[in-house]
Structure 1
Amino acid sequence: MVSREDIGSWLEGAPAGDGPAGERLGLPAEGPGSLATLGRRVPALFLDWFACMGVSALLFDGNATATLLVFLAENVVLVGLLGFTLGHRIFGIGVRRLDRAPFVGPLRAAVRSVLLCLVIPAVVWDGDGRGLHDRGAGTVLVRL
């Protein structure tokens, strides 16, 4: 059984004095490779969603389920192959693996995308600024 102590470290955020978010992950405090800020993440997400709504309107008569599936497909394909979605690229951010591998890959992108589409994992963050969708996939969203 999992106890509160087992998960308390990430629920409570970074302990005081542990440095900037991302430092424990080996990321720089600022500049390229540093954690993407909320000011870049949110507009990128909205841009991706509105683009997917447009595709859904053209191909599927704007069906809400189709929009979600287009969003899922966009994330799996683009993040898996390129490391970023349309919105990520425009706002200068990208998804990287924590183990420094060159590509996110389709499996990690699929795990991340499914969790992102569930919404709750994406809005629960740890002390390093990673959502549960990134933790589950072993990825991090960084500035390019």
Structure 2
Amino acid sequence: MARWTGEWLPGTGDPTTRQDAPKWPGERFGLPETGVGAVASGGQRVLALIVDLVLAALITGLFVRYDLQNVAAMQTFNLWAGGVWAVLTVFPVTFFGFTPGMGALGIRVARLDGATMVGPWRALVRMVLTVLILPPLVRNVDSRNWLDRATGTVVIRMR
């Protein structure tokens, strides 16, 4: 079935019928179709983010008072929770390639150039772009979003 633009916009027909279209996400990078090393699904990535956000809120709740009826207390709580989330995101990804949520779901960030560590600037850029919300949602045929394309990375399965 052709895309809705395929009838009036040249060159935008169904990507599955094009000769250069990859058969699965990550094929262009030499990644397997399934199993260890395959590109992680969008659902796994979103669930890992939710796990990280909940973990950040739980850790923040140990040190910062929260009161759902008090707007000022919740603003302070949310600010601290955002900071804890940033730390939970940047440092583990820099050194290990995954956040606690990603580790729980068996996915990790890998560099396309084959280096073992993601590195601090890539992890920081990924965190900042995640805060903007839109970049993580826009994905290409390789299931790579703007975070991955900006940092030369891909999220893959570990198990």
TM-score, normalised by the number of residues in structure 1: 0.84
Q: Structure 2: any 5+ residue segments left out of the alignment?
A: 1-11, 67-76
When residues 60 and 137 of structure 1 are mapped into structure 2, their CA distance, relative to the original with a 3 A threshold, is: farther
> Does 2:21 align with 1:15?
no
Give distance in 2, aligned partners of 1:100 and 1:35: 15
Residues 91-121 of structure 1: per-residue CA shift (max 9 Å, x gap)? 1100101111011011111111111121111
- Larger deviation, residues 37-46 vs 66-75: 37-46
CA deviation after TM superposition for structure 1 residue 60, in Å: 3.0
Q: Which has the larger radius of gyration?
A: 2
Give distance in 2, aligned partners of 1:27 and 1:116: 24
Partner of 1:126, secondary structure, is coil
Q: Structure 1: any 5+ residue segments left out of the alignment?
A: 1-11
> Does 2:74 align with 1:60?
no
CA deviation after TM superposition for structure 1 residue 25, in Å: 2.2
Kept in 2: contact 1:125–1:131 (CA 8 A): yes
Identity across the alignment (%)? 39
* RCO higher in structure (CA 8 A, sep ≥6): 1
Alignment match, 2:121: 107
Partner of 1:24, secondary structure, is helix
Structure 1 stretches of 4+ moved >2 Å: 14-17, 59-62
Give distance in 2, aligned partners of 1:39 and 1:112: 18
Alignment match, 1:30: 34
Instruction: Name the aligned partner's letter for residue 84 of structure 1.
Output: F
Give distance in 2, aligned partners of 1:79 and 1:111: 11
Residues 12-66 of structure 1: per-residue CA shift (max 9 Å, x gap)? 8x93252111111221111111001133222211111100011122223351122
> Does 2:130 align with 1:126?
no
Kept in 2: contact 1:31–1:143 (CA 8 A): yes
Kept in 1: contact 2:42–2:143 (CA 8 A): no
Instruction: Name the aligned partner's letter for residue 70 of structure 1.
Output: V
Give distance in 1, aligned partners of 2:86 and 2:136: 14
